[in-house]
Chain A
């Protein structure tokens, strides 16, 4: 039964009602480009805002006491490096 639906004619009718015109029209391309720009800007803003929030919260927690200040040369995790709080590579005295 589903094969008898007049999909093609319905599609023609609905596309004529699209606000900025059917596919491959200038309006559609303009909307697409605007959407991509907004998406990229949102990601950049997200990175900046999250960085600001995390640093502020870290400062707040350090300022409240109970946690020692972070070392400027604190080791970071990574390949070829010992894991956080993992085995020390320092043989010690």
Chain B
């Protein structure tokens, strides 16, 4: 890498890139965190984060997010700003973990219908999403090389020319399109509208160095809609309790993003060998990365589950994890108001009786059945 850049700054840029890769490894862990909240043990989450960020992510970046990776040099795999290698992989890993972790107590009623847990504070939820949007600009910029001596001055991760302006425009249009798609598909739900922005950007990240901004807007709108539909399907049909929709927003849209490159940017030369990007090459990357992420996540979380080190006790989950994990109330300044859940019928009711009933079912005493029968 250094010899190709021919810059006295090569070594120092490598350090910057190391730190950027480190940030991305943390990002994979943070993507997973939202899916598993409110019932996973912190230690289990830490172990799985190390596996994902220090093992899976490093491996997939070496395969398909470098100019010399085998997917790049052999198949022209193109994932410029990490749709799949960061987001998709983290989503697949999180899905595997969720299958072993199980849903939160009370998430599904006895008939398997999903209840909705209201956010603790919708303002903070949406503000957090906006902070992610801001950080995305830095994330994108960190995916580029500076090549100040050769026009146009920037290189993507595959050492092909690009510009910072191109990337910035695609992000901005990606957010706009994602908001549009998320708003339409969710019929104005605030959480899914803003999550749609995230899904939109992830859907166009793989080709952010190639797409025209207008194309990015349309593609990201489709990604925003896809995230809502996939999230609903995962929650209500598959009955996988992904608390924030991370699997659909990051996982599904991450894979969708590289698929779009194969369709809309086919022929673009990628990597040291300038291999043309193709739909087949993109599919090859998808086929390689799904098991790379899913299998380690499933196996290690299964082992933790068997050792009873994956999930907190049901009583602690019902109380909330702060007291058990940290021995303190994190919101002492607020008057406690009864939490509510939304029943499958749409009716919003106080959460405590519903959760207590679900707890008795979990412990084998529910619905008149003897312990351990269910």
**Chain A residues near B (Cβ < 8 Å):** 2-3, 7-8, 43, 46-47, 50-51, 53-58, 61-62, 67-79, 81-90
**Chain B residues near A (Cβ < 8 Å):** 7-9, 11-12, 41-43, 46-47, 99-112, 148, 239, 241, 305, 309, 311-316, 318-319, 323-325, 327, 356-367, 369, 371-374
Interface centre among A75, A81, A84 (most CB of B within 10 A): A84
Interfacial chain B residues near A84, Cβ < 8 Å: 102-108, 358, 361-362
Measured in the bound complex, the distance between the Cα atoms of B372 and A68 in whole Å is 13
Q: Is the CB of B107 within 8 A of A71?
A: no
Number of A-B contacts defined by CB within 8 Å: 150
Q: Is the CB of B110 within 8 A of A87?
A: yes
Interfacial chain A residues near B42, Cβ < 8 Å: 46, 50
Q: Is the CB of B239 within 8 A of A86?
A: yes
Interfacial chain B residues near A81, Cβ < 8 Å: 102
Task: Show 5 A/B contacts (Cβ-Cβ < 8 Å), sorted by A.
Answer: A50-B42, A51-B309, A70-B314, A71-B365, A85-B106
Q: Is the CB of B319 within 8 A of A61?
A: yes
Q: Is the CB of A90 within 8 A of B362?
A: no
Q: Is the CB of B9 within 8 A of A83?
A: no
Measured in the bound complex, the distance between the Cα atoms of B109 and A47 in whole Å is 32
Interfacial chain B residues near A73, Cβ < 8 Å: 364, 371-372
Q: If A47-B309, A89-B374 touch, does A75 touch B9 (CB 8 Å cutoff)?
A: no
Known: A7-B11, A78-B305, A84-B107. 9 other contacts (CB 8 A): A47-B309, A50-B41, A51-B43, A61-B316, A67-B315, A68-B363, A83-B239, A84-B105, A85-B105
Q: Is the CB of A85 within 8 A of B319?
A: no
Q: Is the CB of A88 within 8 A of B103?
A: no
Q: Which residue of B lies closest to A72 (CB)?
A: B372
Q: Is the CB of B112 within 8 A of A75?
A: no
Measured in the bound complex, the distance between the Cα atoms of B239 and A82 in whole Å is 9
Interfacial chain B residues near A78, Cβ < 8 Å: 99-100, 102, 305
Q: Is the CB of B374 within 8 A of A82?
A: yes
